[in-house]
Amino acid sequence: MKKGMSAVYPGSFDPPTNGHLDIIARSSHLFPEIIVAVTDNVNKKHIFSLQERINLLRKSIKHLNNVSVLSFSGLLAVYLNEIQSFILIRGLRAISDFEYEFQMALMNRKLNRKIETVFLIPDRAYTFLSSSMVKEIAMLGGDTADFVPECVEKELKERVLSLSKDKYAK
């Protein structure tokens, strides 16, 4: 590994889960600097705004002093070129992630040949965990304490409550 190389971990993080945090912690031991890059993808329906997702991530990673949280919009390959950082971190949970991630990695390399994707495998406890699953559990009134950081759990509960109030007010 070249000295001083930073790596970028992109994602939606709606909301950040313990699986994301596991990948961030692992990558923070491998690279001198990690940039968690939160996508501002307007086509995706998020329950937390971009700024809320950034704040939740910042609160959750404050013990890791080589990690920062930023946002980007548009094509990831263009963003990586802008910040001159060409190592991408992605998490692989199971075979089911593989096909999509493989395609993305090859497409990013096609868009910019400097981009190298590094796949990390989380602790076994998180291999079944996804943001959408966590949202679904919260919506159905389940306990998400084992799946997300404490700050996320609290905000998620409040958000789900206000969303269901909105729904019934209509």
Q: Which of 26, 59, 93, 157 is catalytic?
A: 93
Q: Is 44 a catalytic residue?
A: yes
The answer to whether the Cα torsion of 50, 54, 60, 66 is positive or negative is: positive
Tell which positions 82-121 bind ligand ADP, by CB under 6 A: 90-91, 93, 97
Cα gap 170→152, rounded to integer Å = 27
| Residue ranges with strand state E in the chain | 6-11, 33-39, 67-72, 87-91, 116-120
Q: Is 109 a catalytic residue?
A: no
Q: Which of 44, 113, 124, 170 is catalytic?
A: 44
Toward ligand ADP, which CB reaches closer, 52 or 97? 97
Tokens of 112: 């910019």
List of residues contacting ligand ADP (CB under 6 A)? 11-13, 17, 19-20, 23, 90-91, 93, 97, 122, 126, 129-131
Catalytic residues: 20, 44, 93, 131
